[in-house]
Structure 1
Amino acid sequence: MPLSRHGAGVEATVRAFWSQVHPVFMLPPLAASLFGAILSGEVALEPAAIHVLAIFAAVYTAHVKDGYVDFHVRGEDDDHPLTATGCRIGLTLSTIAFVACCLLLWVLGAQLAVALTLPTWLIAYHHAPQLDTNPLTATTGYPLGIALSILGGFATQAGTVTALPLGFAAVFLVLLSGIKVIDDAQDYDYDRSIAKRTVAVVLGPERAYDVAYGLMAFALVAVVALAITRVFPPGSVLAVLAFAAVAAVARRANPELATMLLVRGSYVFLAVLVAAVWFEPVATIGVATG
């Protein structure tokens, strides 16, 4: 029963399963989990690590399922390292790991965190072929996973959810949805040829770009407003300036280059927000807003 399509043996099988680890797309959800934990003020390492592992398992599930559907079901991809059986085993193992992490969090008393984390697996598993054919869910699936990761990371530590993580989760949901619209525009011709209804296919590339940058602008304005009202630390405005500079350059680039710039810009955006929260403790923010 071969699991790898490119060679036999343990080494080939390990390479095939490892190929489904995509750092560019995996690191942001994992970082979002840790960001949520940092927002709580005090980080207990054990539950934080368990939640990160749960998010990793969910994203791994998404990658394996997406590859399985695109290659073995739809025939869209030219190649895939795992056989159909390998994909099914990968999905089984990642799901077992996810469930185990959720059970551990539940035992540790983080029931709210479990409730916020469970939807990440549902989004991951159903992204293909259900959610990726609708312009709304195809666009918001990954950003919603990031938002839930922030909330789950916070709830793992605090046992509740406050305005602070809710605000950050909403900002990332909107900002990353804008980036996702640009990312999908790269495949406009192909998606249109197979009747895949992304925002770019439904609205056309030009209007899709307007929607995308409108969403990103709205998210940045929201950060400024929340910083002014002291829901976010004042240093959050620096993240707005950094991302706005990247977006201004990306606006004049083609979809592929724009996506690369905006994704990396979102990393900078998150890093500056982490620094802002780190240097202005949540407790201080809470006093100011109270």
Structure 2
Amino acid sequence: MALARRGSGLEATIRAFLSQVHPVFMLPPLAASLFGALLAGTVDPTRAVVHVVAMFAAVYTAHVKDGYVDFHIRGEDDDHPLTERGCRLALSLSTALFAGCCLLLYALVGWLPLALTLPTWVIAYHHAPQLDMNPVTATTGYPLGIALSLLGGFATQTAAIAAVPLGFALVFLVLLSGIKVIDDAQDYDYDRAIQKRTVAVLVGPARAYTLAYGLMATALLVVVALALVQVFPPTAVLAALAFAAVATVARRATPELATMLLIRGSYVFLAVLVAAVWFEPLTGVL
């Protein structure tokens, strides 16, 4: 049986598998893993690569499973590059890769990075059709995966957890949850028609936008507060200011444009945080 729905042969199959690599949504978890490693101060390249590959496998699993459910099971999508058999094979391969990375993490470091990494695959695999039907889990699934990626990246280097990565993980969880609420609002009419309970469907678009920007503002205030009490480097405040500027512009945009601006704004936010940490190394592992 064919693995690709568009064309035949090895080249068409490879294109179909590569089509499930979505850089816009894959880069943040991978960057969060590297950021977590950077927070450790000294980075072991082998450990860092293993954890990044594990995060790639987890996010790839999420994309394949989501497409499989939406097209082959729910019939929501108009098209998908992989056949049902292709989806199942892709899920098997990505899961095997993830499992291999987890075994390496346990062998190289111990149980803590393993405990922080395993939930990312659980979230990825069960996003559709289970978690995406509940407004809380549909909103927090992706942000929680990024928060765990950051903590796992740190623990992979140190075999410990510290207050600073915990603070950053909390900030990303709240900030990205706000962005996710706006992202889901793009599909308000369709989600309401199929009784998919996103935040926008549950409380209405206007209240959803208010909640979303409230979450983002809360995250930025947490950054400032933790910088003031010297948990974060003082220059981390610049990251909050940079994202606030993007959010101000996005507030006047359509949901689609706002999502694009906010996602790219989160890249800037992360870049400034990396620079802040890079020039002010962290100490004090708990």
Deviation of the 1:111 alpha carbon: 1.8
**Residue 279 (structure 2) pairs with residue 279 (structure 1):** yes
Report the 3-state secondary structure (helix = DSSP H, G, I; strand = E; otherwise coil) of the residue aligned with 1:180: helix
Deviation of the 1:109 alpha carbon: 2.2
User: 1:110 and 1:27 mapped to 2: Cα distance?
Assistant: 26
- Other-structure match for 1:134: 134
Deviations 1:224-246 (A, max 9, x none): 00000111000100000000000
**Residue 72 (structure 2) pairs with residue 72 (structure 1):** yes
**Residue 227 (structure 2) pairs with residue 214 (structure 1):** no
Report the 3-state secondary structure (helix = DSSP H, G, I; strand = E; otherwise coil) of the residue aligned with 2:147: helix
Matches for 1:58-97 after TM superposition, within 5 Å:
58-97=58-97
- Other-structure match for 2:41: 41
**Residue 165 (structure 2) pairs with residue 165 (structure 1):** yes
- Other-structure match for 1:186: 186
C-alpha contact (below 8 Å) 1:110/1:155 kept by paired residues: no
Q: Which amino acid aligns with 1:249?
A: V
User: 2:9 and 2:237 mapped to 1: Cα distance?
Assistant: 53
Matches for 1:7-46 after TM superposition, within 5 Å:
7-46=7-46
Q: Which amino acid aligns with 2:81?
A: P
Unaligned 5+ segments in structure 2 are none
- Other-structure match for 1:235: 235
Report the 3-state secondary structure (helix = DSSP H, G, I; strand = E; otherwise coil) of the residue aligned with 1:5: coil
Deviation of the 1:110 alpha carbon: 3.2
User: 2:177 and 2:8 mapped to 1: Cα distance?
Assistant: 40
User: 1:141 and 1:197 mapped to 2: Cα distance?
Assistant: 14
- Other-structure match for 1:57: 57
Unaligned 5+ segments in structure 1 are none
Report the 3-state secondary structure (helix = DSSP H, G, I; strand = E; otherwise coil) of the residue aligned with 1:276: helix
Q: Which amino acid aligns with 1:260?
A: M
Q: Which amino acid aligns with 1:211?
A: L
- Other-structure match for 2:258: 258
Deviation of the 1:262 alpha carbon: 0.3
Deviation of the 1:188 alpha carbon: 0.3
Deviations 1:134-157 (A, max 9, x none): 000000000000000000000000
Deviation of the 1:33 alpha carbon: 0.2
Q: Which amino acid aligns with 1:52?
A: V
- Other-structure match for 2:224: 224
- Other-structure match for 1:143: 143
C-alpha contact (below 8 Å) 1:147/1:170 kept by paired residues: yes
User: 2:160 and 2:194 mapped to 1: Cα distance?
Assistant: 44
Deviations 1:191-237 (A, max 9, x none): 00000000000000000000000000000000000000111000100
Deviations 1:81-111 (A, max 9, x none): 0000000000000000000000011111232
Q: Give the TM-score, by structure 2 length.
A: 0.99
User: 1:21 and 1:71 mapped to 2: Cα distance?
Assistant: 17
- Other-structure match for 1:177: 177
Q: Which amino acid aligns with 1:122?
A: V
Report the 3-state secondary structure (helix = DSSP H, G, I; strand = E; otherwise coil) of the residue aligned with 2:5: coil
CA RMSD of aligned residues (A): 1.0
User: 1:67 and 1:240 mapped to 2: Cα distance?
Assistant: 34
Q: Which amino acid aligns with 1:108?
A: L
Q: Which amino acid aligns with 1:7?
A: G
Deviations 1:149-173 (A, max 9, x none): 0000000001100100000000000
User: 1:10 and 1:61 mapped to 2: Cα distance?
Assistant: 21
Q: Which amino acid aligns with 1:252?
A: R
Q: Which amino acid aligns with 1:60?
A: Y
Report the 3-state secondary structure (helix = DSSP H, G, I; strand = E; otherwise coil) of the residue aligned with 2:201: helix
User: 2:74 and 2:56 mapped to 1: Cα distance?
Assistant: 26
C-alpha contact (below 8 Å) 1:112/1:160 kept by paired residues: yes
Q: Which amino acid aligns with 2:231?
A: V
- Other-structure match for 2:105: 105
Which 4+ residue blocks in structure 1 deviate beyond 2 angstroms?
none
C-alpha contact (below 8 Å) 1:186/1:255 kept by paired residues: yes
Report the 3-state secondary structure (helix = DSSP H, G, I; strand = E; otherwise coil) of the residue aligned with 2:223: helix
